[in-house]
């Protein structure tokens, strides 16, 4: 008997998905989705290329910082650049993102400060950024919990008569969680303007997607009454077009949508993981041939846009971003001794105040002892 999810002829390995850019860089036309890309001229294509190169570089830098002992942990996004940049660049500023911990490419699109991106991973702060500054909640570690937050936010946007959309990012593993299924029930019942963006990167730590699902993930949403798309997650143009279409659907009162972006986690789950224990090296080689950045580079080359000047400009932008992140990491101020007591409550709490006072005296007692001798 084969292990769940390992049947190469099963529905999970079906490559029928929306694709506008083939792995070799060939542009595939689509009457349905090309209208959503009308503004994507040469400059914008180059912009998407730059975004993907920069976030891959930032991801590598953060991994290096972890290896050098500067970060406690890092969850790499390597391989998922197209899914994150394509969808992230489709969003409006007033849309609100509720993501997992791996969507640093989306955070980059939202304009996150690069030091804020890594604060939480250095262990200096309970969270990285101010959610209201970039309209993106801080990373969610409890798998799938954020899908409910996105749904509630979308319900509230609808109460307000606002056409902002809430976007929930999650992975294939999360689709097994009750919260994700409950979120789809609520989103459908209340016709909430929420987009469920599932990056199926094939692996939930060591568990293949076949352990989570015996059919396509995108086939689940219609059972909830939610329109669904299965898209090549390594195709930045398809991700951009389909996300735009789904956002528009939500904005005009059409309710929720579900997108399964079929992609691959080329790296480990986090820097603490060792994928060689559970997956075949050939699989990675196979997915490298479908690399999201290479295929956009191939399109740019074919159109004569990827000249040396662009290559250098993009490389410089990536190196500058990495240097900025590294400097922000190394120079981050250490937290104060009593900072752990802050922001537990919004208003005074006598029991906690007393505990803090006692601990402060305890810390002071060391100083007093030193002076005493």
Partner 1 sequence: MTTMTFGRAINTGLRKAMENDPRVVIIGEDIGALGGVFRITDELQKDFGAHRVIDAPLAESAILGTAVGMAYRGYRPVCEIQFDGFIYPAFDQIVSQVAKLHYRTRGRVRMPLTIRVPFGGGIGAAEHHSESPEAYFTHTSGLRVVAVSNPQDACTVIQQAIASDDPVLYFEPKRRYHTKGDVDENALEDALPMDRARVEVPGTDVTLVTYGALVQTAREAARAAEDDGVSVEVIDLRSLSPLDYSTVEASVRKTGRLVVTHEAARTGGLGAEIAASLTERCFYYLEHAPVRITGMDIPYPPAKMERHHLPDLDRILDGVDRVLGRPNSLTGLED
Positions marked catalytic: 265, 269, 278
Q: Which tokens is 138 given?
A: 């801080």
Give least dist CB 138 to partner 1, A.
6
Q: Sign of the C-alpha dihedral, residues 145, 148, 153, 156?
A: negative
Round to whole Å and give the CA distance between 310 and 80.
22
| Closer Cβ to partner 1, 155 or 261, answer by number | 155
Give least dist CB 152 to partner 1, A.
2
Q: Which has the closest alpha carbon to 95: 159, 158, 166?
A: 166
Give least dist CB 350 to partner 1, A.
6
| Closer Cβ to partner 1, 29 or 343, answer by number | 343
Give least dist CB 98 to partner 1, A.
7
81-88 and 236-251 are packed helices; what angle lies between their axes, rounded to 10 degrees?
40
Give least dist CB 17 to partner 1, A.
29
Give least dist CB 344 to partner 1, A.
5
| Closer Cβ to partner 1, 18 or 97, answer by number | 97
| Closer Cβ to partner 1, 56 or 220, answer by number | 220
| Closer Cβ to partner 1, 153 or 258, answer by number | 153
| Closer Cβ to partner 1, 119 or 295, answer by number | 119
Give least dist CB 154 to partner 1, A.
7
Binding site for partner 1 (CB under 8 A): 96, 98, 125-127, 130-132, 137-138, 142, 145, 147-157, 159-160, 166, 178-179, 182-183, 185-186, 189, 342-347, 349-352
| Closer Cβ to partner 1, 323 or 352, answer by number | 352
């Amino acid at each position: 008997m084969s292990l769940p999810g390992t049947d190469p002829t099963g529905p999970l390995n079906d490559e029928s998905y929306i694709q506008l850019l083939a792995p070799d860089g060939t542009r595939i036309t689509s009457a349905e989705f090309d209208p959503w890309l009308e503004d994507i001229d040469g400059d914008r294509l180059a912009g998407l290329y730059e975004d993907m190169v920069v976030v891959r570089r930032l991801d590598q830098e953060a991994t290096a910082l972890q290896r050098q002992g500067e970060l406690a942990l890092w969850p790499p996004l390597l391989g998922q650049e197209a899914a994150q940049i394509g969808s992230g660049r489709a969003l409006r500023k007033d849309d609100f993102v509720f993501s997992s911990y791996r969507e640093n490419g989306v955070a980059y699109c939202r304009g996150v400060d690069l030091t804020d991106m890594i604060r939480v991973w250095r262990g200096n702060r309970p969270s990285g950024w101010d959610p209201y500054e970039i309209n993106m909640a801080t990373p969610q570690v409890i798998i799938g919990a954020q899908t409910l937050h996105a749904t509630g936010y979308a319900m509230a946007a609808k109460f307000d008569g606002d056409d902002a959309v809430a976007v929930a990012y999650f992975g294939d593993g999360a689709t097994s969680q009750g919260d994700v299924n409950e979120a789809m029930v609520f989103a459908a019942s209340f016709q909430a303007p929420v987009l469920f963006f599932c990056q199926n990167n094939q692996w939930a730590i060591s568990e293949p997607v076949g352990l989570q699902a015996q059919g396509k993930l995108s086939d689940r949403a219609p059972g909830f009454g939610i329109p669904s798309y299965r898209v090549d997650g390594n195709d930045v143009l398809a991700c951009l077009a389909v996300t735009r279409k789904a956002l528009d659907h939500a904005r005009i009162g059409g309710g929720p949508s579900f997108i399964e972006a079929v992609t691959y986690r080329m790296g480990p789950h986090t820097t603490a993981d060792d994928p060689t224990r559970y997956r075949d090296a050939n699989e990675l080689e196979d997915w490298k041939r479908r690399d999201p950045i290479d295929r956009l580079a191939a399109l740019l080359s074919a159109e004569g846009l990827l000249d040396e000047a662009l290559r250098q400009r993009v490389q410089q932008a990536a190196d500058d971003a990495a240097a900025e992140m590294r400097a922000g990491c190394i120079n981050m101020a250490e937290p104060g001794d009593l900072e752990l007591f802050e922001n537990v409550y919004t208003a005074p709490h006598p029991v906690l105040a007393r505990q803090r006072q006692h601990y402060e005296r305890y810390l002071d007692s060391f100083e007093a002892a030193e002076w005493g001798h």
